[in-house]
A and B are shown apart, each in its own frame.
Chain A
């Protein structure tokens, strides 16, 4: 994968993605920059990066920040029971010089990649996917990770990925920061003892709307079927999430495998489709671009929309909603397994984890990081709901071969 070059335009896209990652420039910022200075000027640094081999020689905006974890200054906020920062866990195996990470866009702290590179001297190549389907297709294409070392699957997908040998067992001796996890994350049902995956972020799935366009207070999924907002609504481009929304409206389980239930859900979604602008893989850009007023969204994406539209509202619908979490895994075909385990350990550090949350607005499972998180984030019940609320939400389960029942209907719906 790292050596495949299948065409100049693809190369350019790869370089673009890499440039965005290294300079912590999101696609949205690029769009904004293009709109301000014109395409040529915005793309010029990318072409420059291309000329220098796409290495980190590209112009860097941020000044070097010293590596986050150090035992000296983290003490104040740390819990006494579990110190946030430990002395560097000088691992026995020597880390490799490179690391290939595959993640969602806008899903990590602004300086996390750079801090990791500075601390360990490992060059990180950071690639993006836009939907979970893209991610799974790629890492399953060769059955061992498609050339990447680390990726971030939803916890729902972990049992299947472990069963099929796509992810490797973690080297827990290198991941001493696992002790920072909250107790409820130490032994999750999808991966006993976190042997193959470490939790990364968790969320709820509800919907957001622009109160400038929609004056009323929305509370439930029926809003996304409201004719008045025709042409200005979108659903996530995610089969399970979309069917879950229909399931909640019908009072069904989003994990149902009954054909009658699924047909009823499909029928409801077919009524909704003519009202929709998109099934979106860009919910944030679609919303801030003005064409979408009301969109199915993950809780953290709402937080990121606030920076453009501070009045944006989010609700966990009252008839039910999905909660879920993403994990970090080492892929079984990883060429740089030591660096990969180090990366996971680094992201479980209290300070790094808090920095990730402060940028993405997604809460992490890191108990030690909690005091370091911006209180407007951790104190917001929509991002960090009380456990009483969470208990009412549903986690999506892995369905195995029955997933076909969903995807066949999803094909029919989108066609």
Chain B
């Protein structure tokens, strides 16, 4: 993260390094057991085939599932996923940044309370909150009811099962993931820097663009990652708030697993999606780092 890390540090005594290792073991063990092992299983299954009854068979392992992963029918679903995740990420940052900024600068003694309010939705199951959105957005739902009663519209607007409802639901769901890292980076920023910029006759806008924004860029990057990565694989929101026209790649994987009962093929698709997400993320991170952090 920081450029200081590049400077060589003096080697610590062996005993210190060993005892430090002990503290790492539980975390690494946890990750290995519950992340790496399942992932390896998915990888192994993805090389298999399914037999007539739908069971996974590893008798003839090969790349056949990966070779048929790039089917042209799946391209629209993949582009949908990218589009939803991209728009969700941008919206989350655009909405989240002012909120985080306001809490940090003007929250005062109530900062903690405000942060708890940001996280309050997590106290209820995401599924229930998504169903609540269905009640609000459906054709005879709350939103259409209000719009009709004030005479803005005569026929209900189809909100539910559209791109709009999917992006709304995802932005609603992932917004807290954007606000928290943004808050941290804004709160850590030294306010005197902005003050100094203003003293040097920078306008408020210039001070924000040339001081605040670059300094909080790590928070923006973290917010973007924390929003984009879960959003691209999100299944619940597009499934419940989406419709026939809003298929995402996660939905395709689900159909392969469930209707198709083809676990090897589904595993291959899921694994490919993960690799693509990781590669894309690292590529984006490198560019960003070179542009924003490396220069400083």
Instruction: State whether A291 touches B53 (Cβ < 8 A).
Output: no
Instruction: State whether B260 touches A411 (Cβ < 8 A).
Output: yes
- Asked if B258 is at the interface of the complex by the 8 Å CB criterion, the answer is yes
Instruction: State whether A290 touches B140 (Cβ < 8 A).
Output: yes
- Asked if B284 is at the interface of the complex by the 8 Å CB criterion, the answer is no
Q: Which of the 9-residue segments A31-39, A328-336, A357-365 touches chain B?
A: A31-39
Instruction: State whether B134 touches A289 (Cβ < 8 A).
Output: yes
Within 8 A of A (CB), among B235-258: 243-245, 247, 251-252, 255-258
Instruction: State whether A13 touches B260 (Cβ < 8 A).
Output: no
- Give the residues in chain B near A273, CB-CB below 8 Å: 244-245
Instruction: State whether A239 touches B54 (Cβ < 8 A).
Output: no
Q: How far is the CA of A39 from the CA of B126 in the complex (A)?
A: 12
- Give the residues in chain B near A164, CB-CB below 8 Å: 53
Instruction: State whether B73 touches A143 (Cβ < 8 A).
Output: no
- Asked if A408 is at the interface of the complex by the 8 Å CB criterion, the answer is yes
Instruction: State whether A411 touches B73 (Cβ < 8 A).
Output: yes
- Give the residues in chain B near A13, CB-CB below 8 Å: 125, 127
Q: How far is the CA of A370 from the CA of B132 in the complex (A)?
A: 40
- Give the residues in chain B near A278, CB-CB below 8 Å: 161, 243-244
Interface size bracket, B side: 35 or more
Instruction: State whether A9 touches B126 (Cβ < 8 A).
Output: yes
Q: From B246, which residue of chain A is reached at the shortest CB distance? A: A278
> Separation in Å of the B87 CB from the closest CB of chain A?
20
> Separation in Å of the B230 CB from the closest CB of chain A?
13
Contact indicator per residue, chain A 260-274, by CB within 8 Å of chain B (1) or not (0) = 000000000000011
- Give the residues in chain A near B251, CB-CB below 8 Å: 414-415
> Separation in Å of the B80 CB from the closest CB of chain A?
9
- Asked if A134 is at the interface of the complex by the 8 Å CB criterion, the answer is yes
Within 8 A of B (CB), among A283-329: 285, 289-291
- Give the residues in chain A near B52, CB-CB below 8 Å: 400-401
Given contacts A12-B125, A164-B53, A291-B160, contact A276 B258 (CB under 8 A): no
Within 8 A of B (CB), among A9-59: 9, 12-13, 16, 27, 30-31, 34-35, 39-40, 43
Q: How far is the CA of A408 from the CA of B139 in the complex (A)?
A: 33
> Separation in Å of the A277 CB from the closest CB of chain B?
5
Instruction: State whether B128 touches A277 (Cβ < 8 A).
Output: no
> Separation in Å of the A116 CB from the closest CB of chain B?
28
- Give the residues in chain A near B28, CB-CB below 8 Å: none
Q: From A240, which residue of chain B is reached at the shortest CB distance? A: B259
A34 touches which one: B132, B139, B261 (CB < 8 A)?
Answer: B132
Q: How far is the CA of A194 from the CA of B251 in the complex (A)?
A: 37
Instruction: State whether A277 touches B127 (Cβ < 8 A).
Output: no
Instruction: State whether B255 touches A137 (Cβ < 8 A).
Output: no
Given contacts A39-B124, A231-B158, contact A411 B259 (CB under 8 A): yes
- Asked if B156 is at the interface of the complex by the 8 Å CB criterion, the answer is yes
- Give the residues in chain A near B139, CB-CB below 8 Å: 289-291
Instruction: State whether A415 touches B74 (Cβ < 8 A).
Output: yes
- Give the residues in chain B near A43, CB-CB below 8 Å: 124, 128
> Which of B140, B156, B252, B261 neighbours the largest number of chain A CB atoms within 10 Å of its CB?
B261
> Separation in Å of the A133 CB from the closest CB of chain B?
4
Given contacts A12-B125, A415-B76, contact A289 B55 (CB under 8 A): no
> Separation in Å of the A352 CB from the closest CB of chain B?
31
- Asked if A188 is at the interface of the complex by the 8 Å CB criterion, the answer is no
A35 touches which one: B135, B258, B261 (CB < 8 A)?
Answer: B135
- Give the residues in chain A near B63, CB-CB below 8 Å: none
- Give the residues in chain A near B54, CB-CB below 8 Å: 140
Q: How far is the CA of A43 from the CA of B132 in the complex (A)?
A: 11
Instruction: State whether B244 touches A31 (Cβ < 8 A).
Output: no
> Separation in Å of the B202 CB from the closest CB of chain A?
46
- Give the residues in chain A near B255, CB-CB below 8 Å: 407, 410-411, 414-415
> Separation in Å of the A81 CB from the closest CB of chain B?
42
Q: How far is the CA of A272 from the CA of B74 in the complex (A)?
A: 18
> Separation in Å of the B235 CB from the closest CB of chain A?
13
Instruction: State whether B252 touches A415 (Cβ < 8 A).
Output: yes
Contact indicator per residue, chain B 165-203, by CB within 8 Å of chain A (1) or not (0) = 000000000000000000000000000000000000000
Q: When A and B form their complex, which 10 residue pairs have the shortest distance between CB atoms, in order from nearest?
A: A290-B140, A290-B139, A289-B138, A133-B258, A276-B244, A291-B139, A412-B73, A278-B243, A407-B260, A415-B77
- 22 A-B pairs whose Cβ atoms sit less than 8 Å apart in the complex: A9-B127, A12-B125, A13-B127, A34-B128, A35-B141, A35-B142, A40-B124, A43-B128, A134-B258, A136-B261, A137-B257, A160-B53, A231-B158, A235-B244, A276-B243, A278-B243, A289-B139, A289-B141, A411-B73, A414-B244, A414-B252, A415-B74
Residues of B within 8 A of A (CB): 52-55, 71, 73-74, 76-77, 124-129, 131-132, 134-135, 138-142, 144, 156, 158, 160-161, 243-245, 247, 251-252, 255-262
Besides A35-B135, A291-B160, A414-B252, 8 other A-B contacts (C-beta < 8 A): A34-B131, A39-B124, A289-B138, A289-B140, A407-B262, A411-B260, A414-B251, A415-B77
Residues of A within 8 A of B (CB): 9, 12-13, 16, 27, 30-31, 34-35, 39-40, 43, 131, 133-134, 136-137, 140, 143, 160, 163-164, 231-232, 234-235, 239, 273-274, 276-279, 285, 289-291, 400-401, 404, 407-408, 410-412, 414-415
